[in-house]
Amino acid sequence: MRLSVAMTGDAGAKLAAHLLRHDGQEDLCFATWTASTGHSRTTAIIDRPIIPGPAERRVHGNASFEAAYALRAAQEAALARMGLAFMHSHPGGRGWQALNRVDRSAEARIANLARELTGLPLVGLTLAGDRGWSARIWGGVGRDVVPDPCESVRVIGDGFSVTFNDALVPTPEVSSTQVRTIHTWGEETQATIARLRVAVAGTGSVGMVVADVLGRTGVQDVGIFEFDTVEMVNLDRLRGADRLDALLKRPKTHVAQRLLEAGSTAAHPHHEIYELSICEPEGFARLLDFDIVFSCVDRPWPRHVLNTAAYADLIPVIEGGLSAFQNTDGTLRNAYWRSTLVRPGRPCLACLGQYDPALVQVERDGSLDDPTYIANLPLGSPIRRRENVAALSASVSAALLEQFVSYVARPSGLGEPGPLRFNLRDHTVERDPTVCDEGCVYQESAGCGNARLDPTSRHRAAEQGRSDRASVSMGVRVGRRLDDLMWLLRRRLRSLLDD
Amino acid sequence: MNGVAAFVAGLRELGLEPEQRGGLVVVILDVGPASARGPHRVGADPPNDYPRVPPHWLHLQRGLVLAEDPGRASELGDDWWRWSRPHPKWKGNDNAARQWVAHARSLLLVAQVV
């Protein structure tokens, strides 16, 4: 299991204000943490700093703490049914900090106390003077406690701040195909973006473009979640898909994989392609292995799932959509597309009105896939809306990618702009002033990790899609093999010429 | 607490006496249309992530129908029909049970007697 740590921007700011002292000395404190468990990654989410009282720690160039402080912190964590985290600063350090002998010994002494009182391992963190975090999670018991290194620490604030453990996630090689990209934002930003684990949920007209662009930008780990099949009706807007894909009943993931393989500029791309719905337990668990998610879905249930992960699991979700309105004669009156980045401190998708929580169960029980149910809906129901056009869905993709770049590249030090709405007729962009309702359950669940209310269940539409693709005629099977062979030859030719 | 347990607990806090039948919950509400004033028994299907997500179907005993669309067979038995009536403005907070009861009562008031 890979390990990582995440915290909100508020928690990060509070901790930095305490740990990075004006006098340049080291400092320390405890905090509580809770787990967010994915398929192959566990993230320790830092919850609440426990700042020491005046008599609980001593600062003398280095810093040390009284046993009573450790005990108080462990008891507070146990009462909250959370784990204990211990953190200290290296004001002169930069980036990921290796664990030195003194720090290792100090943390090892607390590791057993933490496990005994909370039942959870100690999370140790170091904050460098450049606000770069490093972290480890202590495994083992008794004299055999050992620090298992984390791969990254993410701070989810106005901008996305991440520190990577270079030993586990090395800085990627720069390829000749990325020269123009690096000229745009520099090697350091490229090294960050390339190492982010970015998922795309839904590869329709918007998601397929996003996936292609992420690959071309050099993101090494792109995850694709899609259970749908390419159909003729998709071809007017689905990048990379052609009639053959529809005739061979290819999954949309197949098209995404082909695009990523053909266009990725990373030296060692590792794309994860899942014919899963994020609403299924396995799909959701795999989603939790990613750092940022593009929401390119348009139904209430997956939006609810992503809204849940954005807050409970501190996985920022970049979301958008398109609405087009017609005149009575059927011509286009206006169209709007919007984009937002969903995270603690920004409005949630439910409060923004991007989905109706009451329709989640309607979708879950299969009603939205039941033609007789749909036929009985009022004509104006948002569920019946089907408008989509490639020329405008490209704008949605662009709006989402702008949110992504703003968040991770932070132009002029600024982060993402908040919810935006683009107006086609007037050619304007407006800020959406919506804030979450007081007591919004999503904001209140920020960082609760595995304690979230599970939004997943069996997804019959996804099962049906996979089953339909598996039960095709022999002719289609042979066609798929021939098509695969052609792509294999193309891949071979490319690698021959590369060499 | 979540799901059916949270739904039942919320109704009890309102002084109601819910009865759990498998994954469904039946409760008696003291309203009804003018020609068939309550009390009436109604059923609901709270999902596992209730109160984040509200029940979808409203189960009514035969004799009461909701206009505009046909009811469907209910898991509660032959004496029941279920009707797709998603809550119009759900906030999955502490007032969830109160929100659902208000929604069910408003539907009972406009139900038709057959």
pLDDT per residue as tens digits for the range A23-42: 999 999 999 999 999 999 99
Mean pLDDT in residue range B60-84:
89
Mean pLDDT in residue range A236-264:
94
Mean pLDDT in residue range B63-79:
87
Q: Is A308 or B66 the better-scoring residue by pLDDT?
A: A308
pLDDT in tens, A63-107: 889 999 999 999 999 999 999 999 999 999 999 999 999 999 989
* Residue A104, CA distances (Å) to A28, A69, A371, A441 in order: 14, 19, 62, 39
pLDDT in tens, A155-178: 999 999 999 999 999 998 888 888
B94 touches chain A (CB under 8 A): yes
Q: Please report the pLDDT score of residue A491 as a whole number.
A: 86
Determine if residue B21 is left, alpha or beta; phi over 0 gives left, psi from -120 to 50 gives alpha, anything else beta. beta
Which chain A residue lies closest to B3 (C-alpha atoms)?
A: A453
Check whether A379 has a pLDDT greater than 70. no
Question: Does the domain spanning A176-468 belong to CATH 3.30.70.20?
Answer: no
Q: How many CB pairs under 8 A join A and B?
A: 60
The reply to whether residue A365 touches residue B90, judged by beta carbons under 8 angstroms, is no
Q: Please report the pLDDT score of residue A372 as a whole number.
A: 82
Check whether A387 has a pLDDT greater than 70. no
Domain ranges of chain A: 2-164, 176-468, 474-498
How does the average pLDDT of chain A come out, rounded?
93
The reply to whether residue A357 touches residue B53, judged by beta carbons under 8 angstroms, is yes
Interface mutation vs chain B, best among A349, A453, A456, most B CBs within 10 Å: A453
CA–CA dist A298, A204 (Å, integer): 10
Mean pLDDT in residue range A400-413:
95
- Contact A396/A320 with Cβ under 8 angstroms? yes
CATH architecture of the region A2-164: 3-Layer(aba) Sandwich (3.40)
Check whether A388 has a pLDDT greater than 80. no
pTM of the predicted structure, to 2 decimals = 0.94
Chain A positions touching B51 (Cβ under 8 A) are 441
The reply to whether residue A441 touches residue B91, judged by beta carbons under 8 angstroms, is yes
Which chain A residue lies closest to B49 (C-alpha atoms)?
A: A453
The beta-carbon neighbor of A441 closest among B54, B84, B93 is B93
Helix or strand or coil: residue B108? helix
List residues of chain A with CB under 8 Å from any CB of chain B.
304, 308, 356-362, 364-365, 367, 373, 376, 437, 439-441, 453-455, 457
The beta-carbon neighbor of A437 closest among B56, B86, B91 is B91
The reply to whether residue B55 touches residue A367, judged by beta carbons under 8 angstroms, is no
Q: What percent of chain A has pLDDT over 70?
A: 98
User: Range of B13's domain?
Assistant: 3-113
Chain A positions touching B52 (Cβ under 8 A) are 304, 308, 357, 441, 453, 455
HSE-CB at A444 with a 13 A cutoff on CA atoms is 11
Check whether B94 has a pLDDT greater than 80. no
pLDDT in tens, A416-474: 999 999 999 999 999 999 999 888 999 999 999 999 999 999 999 999 999 999 999 99
Interstrand relation of B24-29 and B19-21 (parallel, antiparallel or unpaired): antiparallel
The beta-carbon neighbor of A453 closest among B2, B86, B91 is B2
Chain A positions touching B90 (Cβ under 8 A) are 356-358
Q: Please report the pLDDT score of residue A184 as a whole number.
A: 85
The beta-carbon neighbor of B55 closest among A304, A308, A361 is A361
Q: What percent of chain A has pLDDT over 90?
A: 81
B75 touches chain A (CB under 8 A): no
Check whether A187 has a pLDDT greater than 70. yes
The reply to whether residue B94 touches residue A365, judged by beta carbons under 8 angstroms, is no
pLDDT in tens, B17-63: 999 998 999 999 988 777 777 789 999 999 999 999 999 999 999 88
ipTM above 0.90 for this complex:
yes
How does the average pLDDT of chain B come out, rounded?
90
The beta-carbon neighbor of B48 closest among A376, A439, A454 is A454
Q: Please report the pLDDT score of residue A62 as a whole number.
A: 86
Grade residue A386 by pLDDT with cuts at 50, 70 and 90: low
Mean pLDDT in residue range A226-254:
94
Cβ under 8 Å to A: B residues 54-73: 54-57, 68-70
Give the per-residue SS3 of chain A. CEEEEEEEHHHHHHHHHHHCCCCCCCCEEEEEEEEEECCCEEEEEEEEEECCCCCCEEEECEEEECHHHHHHHHHHHHHCCCEEEEEEEECCCCCCCCCCHHHHHHHHHHHHHHHHHHCCCCEEEEEECCCCEEEEEEECCHHHCEEEECCEEEEECCCEEEEECCCCCCCCCCCHHHHHHHHHHHHHHHHHHHHCEEEEECCCHHHHHHHHHHHHHCCCEEEEECCCECCHHHCCCCCCCCHHHHHCCCEHHHHHHHHHHHHCCCCCCCCEEECCCCCCHHHHHHHCCCCEEEECCCCHHHHHHHHHHHHHCCCCEEEEEEEEEECCCCCEEEEEEEEEEECCCCCCCCCCCCCCHHHHHHHHCCHHHCHHHHHCCCCCCHHHCCCCCHHHHHHHHHHHHHHHHHHHHCHHHCCCCCCEEEECCCCEEEECCCCCCCCCHHHHCCCCHHHCCCCCCCCHHHHHHHHHHHCCCHHHHHHHHHHHHHHHHHHHHHHHHHC
Mean pLDDT in residue range A9-25:
95
Q: Please report the pLDDT score of residue A148 as a whole number.
A: 96
* Residue B84, CA distances (Å) to A364, A366, B33, B56 in order: 13, 12, 19, 6
Domain count, chain B: 1
